[in-house]
Each structure stands twice: as structure tokens, then as C-alpha cells.
Amino acid sequence: MALLRVAVPNKGRLLEPTERLLRDAGLVFERGSRALTVPVRNVPIELMFVRTEDVVELVADGVAGAGITGLDLVGEADAALGVVAELGFGQCRLTAAVANSSPAEKLEDLIGLRVATAHPGLTARLLAERGIDVTIVPLRGSVEVAPRLDVADAIVDLVSSGSTMLVNGLRPIATLLESQAVLVAGSPEDDGVARLATMLKAVVAGRGRRYLMMNAPGDSVEEISGLIPGLRAPSVIPLAHNGDVAIHSVVLADDLWHVLPRLEEAGATGILVLPVEQVIA
């Protein structure tokens, strides 16, 4: 298979989770030197460490065959790129906010006003799509102080917890985009890209799931199967004596909180919860 060059962040908040994802997907590589490109030892992939905001352009230009970056940056560049996989980290929202003292309560109230943002392309497009005509004030940073300095009437910025906006006396009024890290490619159907996407998606799917093992009385199998249907159906394995069975299944990690007490109520004992490294359903 031809060598696939993958552009990945060399610093910033997406660097560490990107490296972890690639290693969890089984890619073996060394990092530590200041090298721009790093060969992956066990698969025909070369990692190219670049600024997060340069990934889209390098993939669009064909310098790299694929890349990992934020969905917001893909939207900002508006390049003809395929988003091949959502990677489940780097979650944030592109949010419109106004000063607490502002009368604005919804996006429509921003029509005709000045909106400061460090994401001018994306903001202009998302607002235009909603028929909101504003004057964009492009800023590089410190966007949240723009209303206080009377540089703008509102801001549009990326937030994860939203605490920076609160601290700066701003009130969110709308979410324009939900973003997360994504795998992008110029030719998503390329063999190497498809294989990388499959491996990364398998890790992302595994992270959201747990493998459950338990013992249960034979007559509770139906009730327990209803609680944990698994990818297809739970495995039911007879125990060596006394009519009990072992039941194995895969559950969504988010469901554990509700499911575990109900399994106990249904008679399950010795419940083990194990991590799942990868899932290809």
C-alpha cells in the first residue's frame, strides 16, 4: 500500500489526545525530536506534525493525504475536504454571546450589529445561512473583551465549559456549531485513508463501550438480555454446575449507571466491567 502522509497537530489542545488516539489504534511511532515528519514503524503512514490550523490547507493542497484537526477549522477554511471520521475529543461549541446588559436574546436580535470573532469565515457563513446580516469584526484574540471595549455588540467564540464567557460578563444566546476533532481527507475512498478511518473509528467506538461479564440464574436470562442486548445478542454460557449461566455483553459506557443496579435486581452476581479497546460492529 502507498505511504499515507497524515498531518496532525504539533502543539495545542488537540496534540495530546491525537497522539493517544493514534497509539491506541496501534500505530507505533516515536516523538520527541523536533522532526516535522515521523515514520510510523508498523504501517505505511508518515505523521507530519504541523500547526492545528494548517492541517486543512495541507490536506486540501495534497501535501498530506489525511489530517486530524477541529471541525470548526474545516468550516473556517471552507475547503473541499471529506470529513471521514469524528474522533470524540476536542469537543467545543461555536457560541454567540452578548454582554449581560444587552437586550439581545436570540440570534435575530443581532441583525445589523457588530460581531467580533476570531473565526470570521465560519461565523459569516453560519450567520448568513440563518439569514442574520451582521458586520463581522475579525479579531485574533481576546474576543471576549470586545463588547466591554465597545469594539463590537456581540461575539462569536469557541467555548467548552463556557466559564470564560461568564467571567467576562457575557451571556450566550445561541450555538452556531458543535465541533470536535475529525479525520479529514482529500480522497476519502483511498485505501489507506479508509483503513486509517476504520481503525480510528474502532477506537472511538471502544472508548464509549464496556464489556460486561456476570453470573446469573438460568431463569433470569430473558430479563437480563433485555437490559443488555449487546451488539447483536448477549453470549450465554452454561456454568459447570448448579444451573447458573455466565452472561457476556457490550454496553454503552453512558448506560452503565442505569443498567448495573437493574442487573443486580434481576439476579446477576459477580458483575465485571471491562474496558473495550476497539469495536468494529
Which stretches of the chain bind ligand AMP, using CB under 6 A? 9, 12-14, 52, 70, 72-73, 90, 92, 158-160, 179
Length of the chain, in residues: 281
Minimum separation from the CB atom of position 164 to ligand AMP (A): 8
* Identity of the residue, 179 or 249, whose beta carbon is nearer to ligand AMP in the bound complex: 179
Per-residue CA distances from 105 to 87, 102, 125, 149, 222 (Å): 33, 8, 21, 21, 51
| Residue 141 grid coordinates | 484574540
Minimum separation from the CB atom of position 115 to ligand AMP (A): 17
* Identity of the residue, 2 or 167, whose beta carbon is nearer to ligand AMP in the bound complex: 167
Name the CA radius of gyration of the chain, rounded.
24
Minimum separation from the CB atom of position 199 to ligand AMP (A): 22
CB atoms within 10 A of CB 252: 10
Minimum separation from the CB atom of position 82 to ligand AMP (A): 18
* Identity of the residue, 11 or 23, whose beta carbon is nearer to ligand AMP in the bound complex: 11
Closest CA to 264 of 193, 202, 215, 204: 215
Minimum separation from the CB atom of position 136 to ligand AMP (A): 18
Minimum separation from the CB atom of position 127 to ligand AMP (A): 18
Minimum separation from the CB atom of position 69 to ligand AMP (A): 7
* Identity of the residue, 116 or 250, whose beta carbon is nearer to ligand AMP in the bound complex: 116
* Identity of the residue, 86 or 223, whose beta carbon is nearer to ligand AMP in the bound complex: 86
* Identity of the residue, 92 or 127, whose beta carbon is nearer to ligand AMP in the bound complex: 92
Minimum separation from the CB atom of position 125 to ligand AMP (A): 16
* Identity of the residue, 74 or 193, whose beta carbon is nearer to ligand AMP in the bound complex: 74
* Identity of the residue, 160 or 269, whose beta carbon is nearer to ligand AMP in the bound complex: 160
Residue 88 near residue 207 (C-beta atoms within 8 A)? yes
